[in-house]
Structure 1
């Protein structure tokens, strides 16, 4: 009796897998296939090398006074966190103000805010 029941469950599971694989084209969907709305906009822009919503990691700079790390900001000021030592477990937070290049005295890294315009939101459902 138990073996007949297990055989029946196995047959149902096999049939369900066959239906699922036929529905999805027989492959695992990619992130591009599954992304919708704002996430899809970000994925498509990233494929073109753009970052309209400022979600990707910023490009690294030398961090010197002559070549500071550029921090995109949509307002006149932005809060930035700096981990001065590699093995440090605390983040030192400070404000950057428009037009100023500011350096951290403990590590010597410099930051400069730059204007950033958000892309218009074009959600499709």
Structure 2
């Protein structure tokens, strides 16, 4: 019944496991809504939005200034890598250039305008026993994966401004 709480729906603040993100489905003979049929992260996002919580923080990046090595534009990421699109400062002063940051290389500088971005990891704590897909793991816990070289590998360390 519209306007009535669904007894099968777990409220956003009570979601603890993946099982809490399984929907009840629609009543026979009706067209299901997104809330009736969404599962997993999509359902988690919808439940959050119903209570005014933007679980993925989809706000635009700070475009009121150009990031510098001393004061970069911070890009939050729950994963090991993140892409950010730079359009220059002032905004739209050049075409969008996509910059790639990672936990191993969190600072990136736009080659067009010089704006500096820094990835801030906000994901779960590391599992020291996890193999993150970076090559074949050996008995000693090391992998044979080597990240491909880019022009950033040849920048002098004093120019990098690593914090």
Q: TM-score, normalised by structure 1?
A: 0.48
Instruction: Report which of the two structures shows the higher radius of gyration computed on alpha carbons.
Output: 1
User: Which is bigger in relative contact order (C-alpha 8 A, separation at least 6)?
Assistant: 1
More strand by share: 1
More helix by share: 1
Q: TM-score, normalised by structure 2?
A: 0.39
